[in-house]
Every structure is written in structure tokens, then in C-alpha cells.
């Protein structure tokens, strides 16, 4: 075989390997505020934008602490609503989580679906909505959510492990996640 043919074959094999390689979108932790929304009509100066984003980030982190440190879900919902960023997957996901923890499953579902509409690759939403599915007894749907997490962040991710652990428990045990 000529050197040219060997090189061409090697290049072809490498190209196939690159195209066939899985793509992972790594999830940012929920305590990191989402980027500022581009939905504002008016352009502000970059200094004002930076200042307003810093205020938003502080308020988002405060709501996050209210949820995970204080477990005050009703207060967190009010804090998240005050942010005015319902179009953010991270904000909508935390709203869904808070409503789920309060036992309002219908409203939680609306927020989870809103989060996935904003960002279909938001791994944390796939996890929390999958846990919602487990709590509702929808194990097949939860399994689908688990497969989405595997495709987005792999089976070694915390989100995958959490939902997989929940699915391993027997149905009807009344566990709440």
C-alpha cells in the first residue's frame, strides 16, 4: 500500500472516530447564577449591566442558600420570583424544586418543563424532574430522564448517580427526594 493510501485511510479513520465520539455538556452547579438575560430591549452601559448582574448573582445565591441551607422553600420561591428571570433554566429549576419540596407537584412540573424549554440540556433539571417522576411513580419516565443525564453529562456525574440511586429503591416505598 502506498504512503498516500495509508495516510488517507488513517485520516478517514480519525474523522470517523471524531464524529462518532460522544458529546458531553457539563452542568454548572446550581449555585452559580445563570448568565444575564439577553431579552432586554434597551442596551445599557456595560458598567450598569455589570452592576445589575452582580446584584442579580447575589440575590440568586441568597435564594439558593434559602433552599439548601435553610430549607425555607416558600421564602425561596418569593426570592426567585423577585429576580425577574423566569426564563432562565436555573431559576425555573429551583422554582420547580421548591414547589416539589412543598408538595405542590403540579406547579413543580410546570416549572421543570419551563426550565427544559429554556435549556433542554440543563442536567440539574433532568435530575430533579426525574426525581419528581420517581415520587409520582412514573419510573419509566424517570428512566428516560436518567438516559438524558447519561447522554449530557455521563454516568459518573452526581446527577446521574442521584437519580439512579432513587430508581434502585423499590417502588411505593414513599421516599421523597
pLDDT score for 176: 58
Q: What is the mean pLDDT of residues 159-163?
A: 97
pLDDT score for 18: 45
pLDDT, tens only, 57-94: 999 999 999 999 999 999 999 999 999 998 999 999 99
pLDDT tier at 14, thresholds 50, 70, 90? low
pLDDT, tens only, 141-152: 999 999 999 999
> Could you tell me the pTM of the whole model?
0.74
pLDDT, tens only, 115-159: 999 999 999 999 999 999 999 999 999 999 999 999 999 999 999
Residue 21 has pLDDT above 60, yes or no: no
Residue 172 has pLDDT above 60, yes or no: yes
Residue 173 has pLDDT above 80, yes or no: no
pLDDT score for 115: 97
Region for residue 22 given its phi and psi (left: phi exceeds 0; alpha: psi -120 to 50; beta: otherwise)? beta
pLDDT score for 53: 85
Residue 108 has pLDDT above 90, yes or no: yes
Amino acid at each position: 500500500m502506498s504512503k498516500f493510501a495509508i495516510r488517507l485511510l488513517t485520516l478517514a479513520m480519525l474523522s470517523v472516530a471524531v464524529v462518532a465520539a460522544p458529546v458531553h455538556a457539563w452542568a454548572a452547579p446550581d449555585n452559580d447564577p445563570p448568565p444575564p438575560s439577553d431579552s432586554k430591549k434597551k442596551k445599557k452601559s456595560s458598567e450598569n449591566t455589570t452592576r445589575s448582574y452582580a446584584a442579580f448573582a447575589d440575590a440568586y445565591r441568597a435564594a439558593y442558600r434559602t433552599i439548601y441551607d435553610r430549607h425555607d422553600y416558600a421564602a425561596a420561591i418569593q426570592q426567585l420570583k423577585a429576580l425577574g428571570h423566569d426564563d432562565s433554566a436555573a431559576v425555573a429549576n429551583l422554582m420547580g424544586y421548591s414547589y416539589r419540596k412543598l408538595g405542590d407537584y403540579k406547579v413543580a412540573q410546570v416549572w421543570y418543563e419551563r426550565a427544559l424549554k429554556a435549556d433542554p440540556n440543563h442536567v440539574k433539571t433532568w435530575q430533579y424532574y426525574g426525581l419528581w417522576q420517581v415520587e409520582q411513580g412514573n419510573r419509566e419516565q424517570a428512566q428516560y430522564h436518567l438516559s438524558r443525564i447519561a447522554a449530557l453529562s455521563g454516568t459518573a456525574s452526581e446527577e446521574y448517580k442521584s437519580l439512579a440511586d432513587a430508581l434502585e429503591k423499590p417502588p411505593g416505598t414513599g421516599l421523597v427526594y
